[in-house]
Every structure is written in C-alpha cells, then in structure tokens.
Structure 1
Amino acid sequence: MQRFFGSLALILSITLSITSFGKGKILALGDSLTFGYEVEEEHTWPKLLEKKLGVPIINGGTAGATSAFGLPTLRFHLKRYTPDLVIYALGANDGLRGLDPKVTQKNIEEAVKLCQEKGIKLVLLGMKAPPNYGKTFPANFEAIYPTVAKKYDIPLMPFMLENVAGQKKLNQPDGIHPNAEGYKIIAENIYKVVTKHYDPTKHSKPEAGNKELQTRPK
C-alpha cells in the first residue's frame, strides 16, 4: 500500500512538472473517460463543459484510475488550489474489474467528505457495471451512487454515459471509450446537472490564450 501511494505521488509530481494546472474553478476528477482516451483535448467533456460554462476546468482524469485514486488525487490537487466545484467521475474501472462495491463506496465517500469538510461543492456522476457479471454485482455496484448522493445530500447524475454507452456511432472501436460525438452528448448531460447546482456567472472565466487553463495532464 505504501509503495502504491509512493508511486502515485511520483506520477503526479511528474505530471505537475510537465503541465501547470493554473487556477481552475472546477476540478473534473475521473479516469480515461474524463481524460479523453484517444481524442484531442478540445473534444473531451471537461473542455466542452468549460466552453459551455465559461469557467476554467482542470482535467484531473487519469487512465486506468479506480475509486482508490480518488482521495489521494483529490488531496494532491487541493494542496495547489481550491476549486469551487468537484465533478467526481470515478468508479467505471471498479465496475469493469469487479471490485467489491463496499470498498468502492467507501472510497467515494471519503472523497465526498473531504470536499464537504473544505466547503467545496461536489457533483457525483454515476456508473454502471458490465452485464457479464450476472445480476447481483451490477445491482450492488449501481446502487453505490444514489446511496452516497442521498447520504451526503449531493447532486447526482445517475449514469455518466447516458445515451452514449452501447451506441456504436458514439464510441471508439473498443466499445468503451466515447468518440468526439459521444463526448458532446456527455458534456451536454453534465451541463444540465451542474447548472442546477452551480452558477457559472459568479465565477471567473478563462483568460484568452492562457495555456495553463487549456491543458490536461499528458
């Protein structure tokens, strides 16, 4: 476990040396679905949402990340700036790997509690497990998100990939990661949820040409 967190810290420190995160107002915390696997940065949902809101968004997506990355990654970012909002989009890889839903829920709750302790708003994006795990596991896994949302009274988008998952024309050949067209739908869906609980007019807009606010970790 110590080696895991040590490796994570090393990866994050290298990332920081390559890319300056600037003063983002929103942190998008997730995995490859957030990072934007095999798509240009301008087509990722954080960048599309940033344009729609007019508010800087830091792309905190890490390929392969599970909910276990949530708390340490969040702590890392919060040492460098304080976002007004965190959009939590982790858990998809937990479902794909069949990880214990109780552990996944605990990981998510720890990140939620940290945000609430610091007075940071959080929007939770729900995930679904693949059907090949039978009935019990998917049901237990998918119950995590509404359970956490209700327990901590936070906004929930029931399924991050709503109207995109399973749609061949909206996904890459692997059938898992959205393409540019799929990300347009995801960004629009997230926008509808976020704007119910977050007023972008009260927060600063990105500065034109500011590369610090226009990059994601490489």
Structure 2
Amino acid sequence: MKRTAYRRDFILSVAAGTLVGLCPLPTLAQGKAAQVILVLGDSMSAEYGLARGTGWVALLEKRLAQQKIPATVVNASVSGDTTAGGRSRLGALLAQHKPAVVVIELGGNDALRGLPLQSTEDNLAWMTQAAQDAGARVLLVGMQVPPNYGASYTQRFAAAFETVARQRKAALVPFLLKGIADGPDPTAMFQSDRIHPRAEAHPRMLDNVWPELKKLLR
C-alpha cells in the first residue's frame, strides 16, 4: 500500500510540475513579472462618452498583449480631473499599485477652468518627482489649448509640459491630440461637445503615445 501511495504521489507531483511549466509562474520566477503601467488622466483617458473598451488606454492593453509585452495597465483616470486632483490621488495609487511606469495625462481641465499656469506646472512637477521617487519611469502627455485663449497663454501652457519633462528628465508626448485636433477639419473627430474625441480618434491617440511609452517598458 505504501509503495502504491508513493507511486501515486510521485505521478501527481510530476503532473503538477508539468502543469506549472505551462502557466506564467516560471516567468515570475525568472524575474519577468508583468510591470504595471499607471495612467493618471482625465476624461481623455477615462473613455468619456465612449463605449467601454474603445478608449486609447483600453487599446493600449490590447497592443501590449498583441506584442507579448509583460505589462498590465491600471487606468486611474477621472473625468474632469485637474492636476491638483491628480496630485491628491497619486500617493495612494503609487503605494497600492507600485507601478514601473506612470503616464500623467492631466492639465487640460486646468486650462478650461482658467487655473494659474504656475500651479499647473508645479503640480505636474510634483507628480513627476513623486512617481520617480517611488521608482517609476514617467511619461508626461501634453495638451494644447485653442488659439482663442490667446497666443501667449497657448504657448505658455504647452511649454509647461516641456519644462517639467526637461527639468525632471521625464519622457514627453507634446500633444495627445496631434493629427486629430490640428487636422484639416478639427471638429470631424470630436463628439458633439467639440471637446472629447470620438472612438475613431483613439487609435491615433494611442499611436501618439506609444513610441515614447514603449521606450520606458523594460
């Protein structure tokens, strides 16, 4: 009886080892655990007005899977959020998810609300530094405002992202809506509010983000 039990246990042990070889556990053992990408954004990243799964962040998850890149995405975007709101939420998110990469897509609502540009820049800098101090690589995703805000404001707003990226040595996408908001018909790819892109625009938004983001994925 003991020999039979031993043989049965041995067979089960071998079978279990074979099954483990088919699952992701060896990958974890080899130090290739999926890295976490934290997206901290506003309605541009929160699928505002869209069917779930059609926004650029959801498309990013699919691209990572297609290219067999071991990474998972945490979308912590909130419609209407400002840089101050992101700043207040970031610490808890860093502690909870321990991301390898943090994508900061905030600032557009600061401009819509007429908030001081210096506050926007300071908040972006603080979030970038906090993420870096937590061991994450940072990608700033810039936004631009329409010319009716005035040439000076438009230039200074865009420069805020560039300044923070340069000073903090972070990666930068200058304009999330490049090829969408600056096309021959700027309204064609937007919802009726003329602020939020339609689903058809989100693959282009991902293409704008992807080249810089991919460089940060190790």
The normalised TM-score by structure 1 is 0.77
Task: Give 1:127 shift.
Answer: 1.0
2: CA distance, partners of 1:168 / 1:24: 37
* Corresponding residue SS for 2:217: coil
Task: Give 1:169 shift.
Answer: 2.9
Q: 2:135 matched to 1:122?
A: no
Q: Which amino acid aligns with 1:156?
A: L
Q: 1:62 aligns with which of 78, 83, 87?
A: 78
Deviations 1:152-172 (A, max 9, x none): 111100101111125333211
Structure 1 unaligned regions, length at least 5: 1-22, 200-218
Runs of 4+ with deviation above 2 angstroms: 166-169
Greater radius of gyration (CA): 2
| Matching residue of 1:198 | 217
8 Å CA contact 2:94, 2:131 repeated in 1 = no
| Matching residue of 1:100 | 116
| Matching residue of 1:50 | 61
Q: 1:151 aligns with which of 167, 171, 177?
A: 167
| Matching residue of 1:134 | 150
| Matching residue of 1:39 | 50
Deviations 1:163-209 (A, max 9, x none): 1125333211111101111011101221122112323xxxxxxxxxx
Q: Report how many residues are paired.
A: 177
* Corresponding residue SS for 2:188: helix
| Matching residue of 1:29 | 40
* Corresponding residue SS for 1:56: strand
| Matching residue of 1:207 | none
Report the aligned-residue RMSD.
Answer: 1.5
8 Å CA contact 2:101, 2:216 repeated in 1 = no
Task: Give 1:79 shift.
Answer: 2.6
